Amino acid sequence: MYIYLVPAPLPDALAAYPHLTLKGAEDQVRLAIETKDRLPNIESDEQVAAYEAFDAAGSWTGGGFAVLNNIPVTEDGRPDFEERFKNRARKVEDEPGFVGIRVLRPLKDDTYVVLTLWQSEEHFKGWQQSQAYNHAHRNRSTSEGLTAQKPTMFPRPSFVTTYTIE
């Protein structure tokens, strides 16, 4: 499965694909397309972010809030990073208000994205305050976490972007 983040407005060539309209800070609008097929014709557009989902659960539709955790990873770090996510605790799926998750491998740069979809921002904040969140992130700052084990696999700090889904 492939995910494309496209600046608005949606190009005519993509009008047939179902998409989410993501509204971010300063009224920035991006359109998120999920498809089973790779779309090489739009991947060459430098304004389009292109990903392959290597882990997914839940639905693509039905949410009102999207969180994108953007994590730069070096080429050498990719196998370890992906292995860690393939073996994640999978606690988020049981949280109230959870809609879906897509763990995305970048097709054009070094930044992976963990995209979670929620019914609302309040549901996401509830997840952040939950014991399940603490369990899922328990090793992050310890010697067992990837940051401590392989500090050079992250060339830059990660960052989070959030959107309301219209």
- Return the higher-pLDDT residue of 86 and 135: 86
Query: What six digits make up the tokens of 158?
Result: 């990660």
Q: Are 99 and 117 in contact (CB under 8 A)?
A: yes
Q: Are 32 and 5 in contact (CB under 8 A)?
A: yes
Give residue-wise pLDDT tens across range 87-128: 877 888 999 999 999 999 999 999 999 999 999 999 999 988
Residue 148 has pLDDT above 70, yes or no: no
Domains assigned to the chain: 2-165 (3.30.70.100)
Helix, strand or coil, per DSSP, at residue 151: helix
- Rg value, the chain, Cα: 16
Record the pTM. Answer: 0.87
Residue 19 has pLDDT above 50, yes or no: yes
Which residue in this structure is represented by tokens 């998750």?
Answer: 101
Residue 140 has pLDDT above 50, yes or no: yes
> Looking at the DSSP assignment, which residues form a beta bridge with residue 20?
32
How far apart CA 115 and CA 105 sit, in angstroms, is 11
Give pLDDT, residue 91: 80
